[in-house]
Amino acid sequence: MQLFEGLVDDKILKIINLFLSKPDEFFHINQTSELTGVSLASTFRIINKLVEKNILDYKEISKFKVYKLAKNKKTKKLGEVL
């Protein structure tokens, strides 16, 4: 992680590290915000970007979306690097 400090926004790294630390767990956006200390608005923006990049998957449950680390080559490599 220290390799990317200063190159990548700390907020993005905090959120990615949360999902990497528990790859099989689903997180709600509010829970993600609380656990990382990143504001809800920033968390929303970052999570949507990570979903676009296929780093996170989501599942809709009723009106809620929960997010989890995608299982693909990108996230495997990301886990190795961070």
Dihedral of CA 27/2/40/35: which sign? Answer: positive
Number of alpha helices (DSSP H) and beta strands (DSSP E) in the chain: 4, 3
Number of domains in the chain: 1
Q: Which domain holds residue 25?
A: 2-81
User: What does the alpha-carbon distance between residue 1 and residue 10 come to, in Å, rounded to a whole number?
Assistant: 10
Instruction: Give the tens place of pLDDT for each residue, 37-74.
Output: 999 999 999 999 999 999 999 999 988 999 999 999 98
Model pLDDT, residue 3: 64
User: What does the alpha-carbon distance between residue 8 and residue 34 come to, in Å, rounded to a whole number?
Assistant: 21
Domain of 38, CATH number, reads 1.10.10.10
Nearest to 71, CA basis, from 8, 13, 19, 28: 19
